[in-house]
Structure 1
């Protein structure tokens, strides 16, 4: 039995993984909040992709492999299969994207929320264990089924709560608090799944294929940087001209239906510019005292 260390470098890796999950969750909540307020299908798809990128790519996938930097097994090196690792990225983003599409279109109700949470939670768990399947070491990996089931349950609950928060939370302070809760849930799922792991080392060592986890650090950092810059730019940039044109097009029928009110014409002036007041047929206003001469 191989001795497992989940915190090889102390608390730096879990702290960074939690920070990534909070960052991705916060940005994802901001973007997801724009889905329901978007005018057209194109805008909803745009905000949905950004939210899936933030939550699935940064808050879940990058968090997972940042935490794996601190994972070590005595007596063996650890490498990761690159194609399977890339597949775990796609799984996380697609699962979150479909979950947001389920709850973000139409009227939000319990059935939509449960369906989206079920799909996203299963996708998050699949991402975690796909990422673990990419691991290569001189041994055999076994899992405790009870803890695996518990980690999947945590993923389902965390995904459902995350989707509910993404559709209901709007204010800055609430978004920050929700991101902190989502970060705890994602990390709780990860380390619960990791606690189910056990390794039986092989007596004979062989050559391991793949890349070390430190080789994934650069893609993780680049993905986070480009994701944060792109999302912040999207949030701070003014609406495109197409948005203004679309808004004007949508408002045009309303303006056409509104009745036009003619402006009152000025009273015609009498001879030599005098007012018509007092002319025959023009009533005098009621005044107290003697009538005019």
Structure 2
């Protein structure tokens, strides 16, 4: 019997190749498992590539082990038989990878697959040994032969179980695969060298492939290089694909998050995170369908915050935004989880409430008003707002989304007009008024666009010498259907809608233009007075509007007087003082209008940069000696004198009123007694007709 020996270096190399091939097989199992869930074509590609790489690796380990084998005779290997052993290795590897990528691996399948795979590996080994074509043939020790097959089957079972367990990309899976690769590599090498130990070669044996087959000299290096190249390429491809998949997965997650965020943005208010109009419409449709099927009820409540605009304009939008967020949180806390609280924009909120009976809406509305009424602590100060709520009940107050919204809105505006800070259920009479308000609002917008507004001018006269001091500009609306409309009929709507801002800017500019025209005619001592709405006074751009109007018409600031009501000047006093001071710094005069009707504090009144006090017409109307009104007027005049302010009385209609006001020391007066509001041409003509520019005579007063 020929004595065999081994090249120890090649034995070590064969073990390393077996470990590397095992790691490659485990990595390929992950790639096949991942792609099989997504696309079958990519899974087939990875299965084929994995079978080739794993087969080459196992076969190379076997063949390097064969090359490490030494006999005292020349050895060689038949090319075709060797190639057949390689094909067996690839087929066995492909089967193994296919098994471990199944969704389940029960014991029966595991044992059957291990038997088939072990037989394949043993077949590869003994086919490879047959490639030596020994003459006489190789003798095998039956015990070791069977032991090698059992080792192959056991190693296959272990390899299949390990590969199946580690096929998913979980935390620390790379380290686990590395350890498992060592176990699998040792098992494969153990099978190989057990099979080699089973082989015996009689004396006089000759290797027929030594001459015709492939020699062993350069073959070892070639196989090692090729094998390492194949396994390295397979591993790099797998790693790169895994990274690409990871990035793709991250991109997919990013896209999903972006889509979720976009959906959030589309369906929710960005400030309060409440549902917006779009989502509210969907919820409202669902509520209508549900209530219609079950013959149930629900309430649609429209809520508007009272006095929010004043806070927003005076303290800044950042404080207003924080207040809206706080209100939203309170509303959410007050409602049940299945009710809907939405924000439509600005300070408008809508609440959808499921009801057992229509009257159940009343305690809900009371609760909403109550939670909003509680003070808010923001920007270092205590802020208070109230809520005006309108309620529409399905189906009594509307069977469609549009009807419910319109009717709830109409009920809310009815609450506003009734004094705010409360709630009202919809009534049919409100609808007509709501439509009328909507038409007025539309007409107001058109009026601004088509220049339908007009200014008329009421003269102001000096008590000392009856000379004309100037005029107060009063707004009128030349409505195409309704004729000349006074401000009492539309100013409130203009303030609620915000249209008072552009309308007020137009009034300022037109008054400055007219005053410049009179100034160019020589009336340098005249002044033009313009009323400022509370909303306009709170506008942060007011100063820019005033400055722009003066500059556009080259009007000296001293020719303009801005009239602010006492209530406006005294609300949010510090901010009002700052605004009035900025106006005064321009050189524009300030008049406190309707004085005596508000809640003046003398502490603040003395700080106002005002030039003039106007006594409200309510005190002048019933003026006679000995009355309470007479005492109030006398006190106002005395106060004005003390503060060095001009005192103007408005609404003077009788000579008795004129005489009393003159006696107590008023500086100027205006009213129907002296002249009604007139168009600019008539105003100028009337003033020119007065002798020496003095007040009109009694006969002319009556005619006016």
Query: CA offset at residue 287 of structure 1?
Result: 2.9
Alignment partner, residue 287 of structure 1: 374
Q: 1:213 aligns with which of 205, 213, 216?
A: 216
Q: Deviation string for 1:237-291 (max 9, x for gaps)?
A: 4548xx88xx89xx9xxx9xx9997341499999xx879869xxx9682135999
Q: Give the SS at the match of 1:69.
A: helix
Unaligned runs of 5+ in 2: 269-275, 279-302, 313-345, 349-367, 376-381, 387-598, 600-704
Tell me, in whole angstroms, the C-alpha distance in 1 between the residues paired with 2:198 and 2:237. Answer: 40
1:226 to 2:225 alignment: no
> Is 1:89 matched with 2:90?
no
Residues 53, 230 of structure 2: 8 Å contact kept: no
Q: Deviations over 1:197-244 (max 9, x none)?
A: 11124488977321113343314421321331232133224548xx88
CA distance in 1, matches of 2:4, 2:217: 18
Per the alignment, residue 103 of structure 1 pairs with 100
Please say if 1:189 is aligned against 2:187.
Answer: no
The 1:140/1:195 distance shift into structure 2, 3 A limit, reads same
CA distance in 1, matches of 2:178, 2:55: 18
> 1:127: Cα distance to partner?
0.4
Give the drift of 1:102. Answer: 2.5
Q: What is the 5 A alignment of 1:117-136?
A: 117-136=114-133
- Which has the higher Rg, Structure 1 or Structure 2? 2
Whole-Å separation in 1 of the counterparts to 2:230 and 2:88: 20
Instruction: Tell me how far apart the structure 1 counterparts of residues 105 and 91 of structure 2 sit (CA, whole Å).
Output: 20
| Larger fraction in strand | 2
CA distances 1:43-81 after superposition (whole Å, capped 9, x unpaired): 3323323432343221x211111112221222x211100
2:378 corresponds to = none
The one of 70, 92, 99 aligned to 1:72: 70
Distance 1:34 1:168 in 2: 14
**Aligned twin of 2:180:** 178
Matches within 5 A, 1:11-90: 11-38=8-35, 39-58=38-57, 60-74=58-72, 76-90=73-87
Alignment partner of 2:146 out of 139, 145, 149:
149
Provide the C-alpha distance between the structure 1 equivalents of 2:19 and 2:124, rounded to a whole number of angstroms. 18
Alpha-carbon deviations, 1:2-42, whole Å to 9, x = none?
2222x1x3x21111110000111112111112332322222
Contact 1:122 1:156 in 2 (8 A): yes
Give the aligned partner of residue 267 of structure 2. 262
> Alignment partner of 1:140: what SS?
coil
| 2:139 counterpart SS class | strand
Q: Deviations over 1:121-144 (max 9, x none)?
A: 111001000100101345431111
Partner of 2:196, secondary structure, is helix
Residue 447 (structure 2) aligns with: none
SS at match of 2:103: coil
3-state DSSP of counterpart to 1:37: helix
Structure 1 vs Structure 2 CA RMSD: 3.8
1:136-171 residue CA offsets vs partner (Å, 9 max, x unmatched): 345431111111111000000001110111111251
Is residue 134–residue 205 contact of structure 2 (8 Å, CA) maintained in 1?
Answer: no
Would the alpha carbon gap of residues 42 and 203 (structure 1) be closer, same or farther in structure 2, given more than 3 Å must change? closer
Q: 1:122 to 1:287 in 2, by over 3 A?
A: same
Aligned-partner Cα distance in 2 for 1:79–1:26? 30
Q: Partners in 2 of 1:174 and 1:50 — Cα distance?
A: 23
| Ranges in structure 1 where 5+ consecutive residues have no aligned partner | none
Q: Distance in 2 between matches of 1:90 and 1:205?
A: 23
